[in-house]
Structure 1
Amino acid sequence: MKLLSALLFAVAASSVQANIFSDRLLAEKSRAIHLKLDTKPSSLASAQEVVTEHFFNQTVNHFGEVKGNETYPQYYVVNANHYKPGGPLVLDLGGEWTVTPGSERQGLQHDFIAKYNGLLVGLEHRFYGQSYPSQDPKDLWLLTVEQALADANNFVKTQDFKAGNVTVKAGSKWVAWGGSYSANLAAWARLKYPQSFWAAHAASGPVYAKMDFQEYAYSVDVGIPQIGGSQACVAGLKQATAALDKILLKGNKKQIKDLQALFSLSGVKYPSDFASWSTTFLASSIQYGPKSSLVNNQLAIDYYCNNSVITSSKLSANDKLHALASIVGNATLEYFGGDMEAAYSTINTPVGPPTMSETTSWLWQVCTEFGYWQISLPYAPSTYSKLLTDPYFSWQCKQIFKGVKVIDPNTGRAVDSHRPNTDKINKNYFGTDIIKHTDHIVFANGQIDPWHTLSVLKGTGESIKKNVVVQHFGYHCDEFSGSQSQAAWRGQLLAFWDKWWAEFKGKQGGYQARAARIR
């Protein structure tokens, strides 16, 4: 996620379209298709596993002068089917999504605890799912990375867990696990609370907070031929986007109105929202893989790139613009089931104050902490519109959160800006240099996934001896997908954990971690 899809995480949940409001909804659909949570467990046996549901009385505010004794019910799930005393304890950190029992019946984290008789606990993130400290948007100041990490630490330090007739006592040492945004949390939990977390697995974690994330658009352009498209398709889409931008940036009101009508999107209020929706639809196919996005009962990448007008070397940019209009118009109708009122409600940037939802929560985090603004390439042709700029995303954040103040959690006092404080995030958690400041973290990324560009991709000296850096030929958060359970690279990743678990248990001294590129 995202902006983030994401992660997202995400994910996240995380969202993949460039409009920070509409992208969230598209990403949820793509993520559900890709990860198949609850419907594609790691095995038939794991599908029958009992995963219990609970609530923990979590502290509302862990910091500052306004810290109090108030608590909120934080949702968590427990898979104790494999646990035997002495087995590994894994905390699967929730990100910008609802935690479900099914999410702990699959994925690499499930493979790990099944192999070594471990306990797997999924903890929902504050302000998502069933875990809201408040339903008032004015309390969104309590939604920060620092608070979420303190939640995780407080949870494992103070909560006992029942596993059959065995009790896992509070204060035990855990492995933090996460994907997309929650991969950041897993790595940062190991960094900030090493007394609670002896290791971490960070899958597709964009640990470097960046406001103007133009690498995303570049990765989409590069990724199209890698997932079944072609260079001719990329070239054609760039031409169509350039023609669209020419009208939006230099045309008169009638020409812009006619253009939106051509795309069957006359009800979109703002040209930048129109450009965002019309030029970034393939992003989910690059992030989550081609099977994550379907149009007219075919893969979206095929729907776009098998279009003879788009791929033609002889037809004009205007011809390609008309072809893109037909593609986007049909895709929009299908996505919203013909309900254009719902389409416009999604595509148009809303004006705050917002209603509370997971979408609102994630937008708050990207608008105040992470950025992840998926702008177009400023100085090169792109399939992303040139209207996707820093000022556009900044305007969106101000529109969406009108009437909501940003509060300093340490003092309770309001600060002025909704612009993301990426400098603070990178200072506190070291960005991609985190590998130099901690150990026992696996950083795993899919090579095609655009988010890998903000993750840890290499290490040197002692840092790479103490951590694992892996790139596999895949997509965003593939480690969590039940459909990827037989992939060769999944076994190779688990092998790294074999070594670390043996070390932790004292069965062999030292460990050998290495950077790797595996397929």
Structure 2
Amino acid sequence: MMPSVFHFVSIILFIDLVSSGRVLWKAKERARAIRQQTAKQHVLAHAVRGRIEQQLDHFSARNTETFSQRFFVNEAFWDRPDGPVFLYIEGEGPLSEYSVLAGHHVVMAEAHGALLVALEHRFYGSSIHPGGTETQNLQHLSSVQALSDLAVFHQYVHQKYDLSRRNTWISFGGSYAGALSAWLRGKFPHLIYGAVASSAPVRAELDFSAYNKVVGRSLMDERVGGSERCLNIVREAFRAVEAVLRGGNTTKVGVDFVCCDPPTSPEDQVELMQSLADMFMGSVQYNEEGVALTIAHLCSFMTNQDSAGGQGEEPYSRLVKLAELYRTLEREVCLDVSHKHTIHSLNSTSDGISGYRQWFYQTCTEFGFYQTCEDTSCPFSCMLTLQTQTQLCPLLFGISQDALPTNIAFTNQYYGGDEPHSQRVLYVNGDIDPWIQLSVVQNGSSVDGAIVIPGTAHCADMNPTRPGDRLALHQARKEIERHVAIWLKSAAWENMV
């Protein structure tokens, strides 16, 4: 029986996990499933689902191909005919009806009499062109095309519901979709009056070594149950695993961590280290927001303060037991560390709904976001290099590693990086979330609003209020509500002129 500290105490209502590790990606899918199952027990309203035909390529008059894109609408709170429109933007995963039925933006929609609409991202979920995940067709998957999809969807909703200029549009999104929310306001200011961008990585970064630097900092943050001792023990544990591997005893490591196959090749050893690191990265990124293992629980376990850790055990043994707990939670008989299986999973074009392959393609063409561990501040294994991650781009998609810096530079030039010049965009971040490093965290001449929430994690503000939420999180939601109310009042005055 699992220790009680690993019980799921809360559910993530909105989760986008921009990561390339298989373990983290599985955690994302599991959280989505739990989220939806729990939401069913608390939501009585129903959303209307629909589909819209979109151009496959918005920028080519010669390409007349289209694809069917899914959306949801909730009219329950709408104050017809002039009530505002709240647009929820989905990111790198399937869109759920709960995008218009639950969450902080839904609470605000009820308060302001807003029409709720949500659009699924092209090439994810069920909005995939036939054969869309084939390499030759992925060229039409980009944030630029996705923003054009949203503009067309705006026009569709405008016509379907006979809207006018008095219907003020506010967009919402978290993580990658949070960046899309900010970019939509920047590129289509005549359509979107204001935007909330939660945990939005608006600056593309090839070598995102800062991610694991923040993970290490958060693991020693006493506000959330971390400690310097915890961080040091995590470091020692990974060094110990590396030492055994360097000694050539891959059989011992394979047996200790119950790997499906011994990590004999260097590539498999990197997969093992990535999987072990992912367990910590996931706990930090979604601390207190639905993960089974919070920072407090994890550090208690790793420092032998929890009975499950085993008194007097070495860091290596504690990491072994942590992997055992992970397998129990995921109901996995063994830990799959096969690099060949990773390649097979990323090459699969039959499982498009998970989005794993599509997102990795976008990291190669637009964003990077590779969470490396070559910096001395990283608490994990130095085997997690930029080379080991970017070499998949040419292998999977024929995209040269040399092209990646240019791709990422274009993204930052096109959108403005973390120095945007878009008005009425509110950036919201938790200060223990590693993605804060790529977002906007300070108010300035080109930034209307930036909120940093002490002690909170990725997209925490997007969930509805729950018992046990930190005071800072309550205050941040009030501040978001204040900004949205000011925008709507300002728009109303403008429409009277």
| TM range, smaller chain | 0.7 to 0.9
Report if aligned partners of 1:290, 1:300 keep a CA contact under 8 Å in 2.
no
Quote the residue 1:457 is aligned against: 441
Aligned-partner residue type, residue 76 of structure 2: N
- The answer as to 2:130 corresponding to 1:134 is yes
- The answer as to 2:479 corresponding to 1:482 is no
- The answer as to 2:178 corresponding to 1:195 is no
Report if aligned partners of 1:76, 1:124 keep a CA contact under 8 Å in 2.
yes
User: How far apart in 2 are the matches of 1:478 and 1:291?
Assistant: 6
Q: Pick from 492, 496, 508 the counterpart of residue 483 of structure 2.
A: 496
1:4-403 counterparts in 2 under 5 A?
Answer: 11-15=15-19, 20-30=21-31, 36-37=35-36, 39-40=38-39, 47-64=43-60, 67-84=62-79, 85-136=81-132, 137-138=134-135, 139-160=137-158, 167-168=162-163, 174-226=169-221, 227-248=224-245, 250-252=246-248, 255-265=249-259, 267=261, 268=263, 270-290=268-288, 292-294=290-292, 299-306=297-304, 319-328=314-323, 330-340=324-334, 343-344=336-337, 348-351=341-344, 353-355=347-349, 356-357=351-352, 358-380=355-377, 382-399=378-395, 401=396
Identity %: 24
Listed one character per residue, the Cα deviations across residues 135-191 of structure 1 (whole Å, up to 9, x for unaligned) are 3413111111111011111111244465xxx63369965222111000111111111
User: How far apart in 2 are the matches of 1:339 and 1:310?
Assistant: 20
Q: Where do 5+ consecutive residues of structure 1 fail to align?
A: 1-7, 407-414, 510-519
User: How far apart in 2 are the matches of 1:171 and 1:345?
Assistant: 56
Listed one character per residue, the Cα deviations across residues 478-504 of structure 1 (whole Å, up to 9, x for unaligned) are 232135497332122201211121111
Residue 162 of structure 2 aligns to a residue in which SS?
strand
User: How far apart in 2 are the matches of 1:276 and 1:416?
Assistant: 20
TM-score (norm 2): 0.84
Listed one character per residue, the Cα deviations across residues 191-245 of structure 1 (whole Å, up to 9, x for unaligned) are 1111211211100001011111111111111112433232211111111112222
Quote the residue 2:8 is aligned against: none
Say if 1:91 and 1:218 are closer, same or farther in 2 by CA, change over 3 A: same
Report if aligned partners of 1:441, 1:468 keep a CA contact under 8 Å in 2.
yes
User: How far apart in 1 are the matches of 2:112 and 2:165?
Assistant: 20
Say if 1:416 and 1:10 are closer, same or farther in 2 by CA, change over 3 A: farther
Report if aligned partners of 1:295, 1:331 keep a CA contact under 8 Å in 2.
no
Report if aligned partners of 2:301, 2:309 keep a CA contact under 8 Å in 1.
no
Say if 1:220 and 1:273 are closer, same or farther in 2 by CA, change over 3 A: same
User: How far apart in 1 are the matches of 2:196 and 2:289?
Assistant: 25
Per the TM alignment, residue 364 of structure 1 is displaced from its structure 2 partner at its CA by 1.3
Quote the residue 2:452 is aligned against: 471
Q: Pick from 424, 446, 449 the counterpart of residue 430 of structure 2.
A: 446
Aligned length: 464
Residue 232 of structure 1 aligns to a residue in which SS?
helix
Residue 391 of structure 2 aligns to a residue in which SS?
helix
Quote the residue 1:4 is aligned against: none
User: How far apart in 1 are the matches of 2:194 and 2:153?
Assistant: 17
Per the TM alignment, residue 258 of structure 1 is displaced from its structure 2 partner at its CA by 2.3
Q: Where do 5+ consecutive residues of structure 2 fail to align?
A: 1-11
User: How far apart in 2 are the matches of 1:305 and 1:28?
Assistant: 29
Residue 175 of structure 1 aligns to a residue in which SS?
strand
1:428-439 counterparts in 2 under 5 A?
Answer: 428-434=414-420, 437-439=421-423
Per the TM alignment, residue 290 of structure 1 is displaced from its structure 2 partner at its CA by 3.8
Compute the RMSD of aligned alpha carbons.
3.3
User: How far apart in 1 are the matches of 2:402 and 2:148?
Assistant: 24
Say if 1:488 and 1:171 are closer, same or farther in 2 by CA, change over 3 A: closer
Report if aligned partners of 1:309, 1:320 keep a CA contact under 8 Å in 2.
no
Per the TM alignment, residue 278 of structure 1 is displaced from its structure 2 partner at its CA by 2.0
Per the TM alignment, residue 257 of structure 1 is displaced from its structure 2 partner at its CA by 3.2
Say if 1:347 and 1:290 are closer, same or farther in 2 by CA, change over 3 A: farther
Report if aligned partners of 1:210, 1:370 keep a CA contact under 8 Å in 2.
yes
TM-score (norm 1): 0.80
Residue 482 of structure 1 aligns to a residue in which SS?
coil
User: How far apart in 1 are the matches of 2:46 and 2:289?
Assistant: 29
Residue 15 of structure 2 aligns to a residue in which SS?
strand
Say if 1:24 and 1:209 are closer, same or farther in 2 by CA, change over 3 A: same
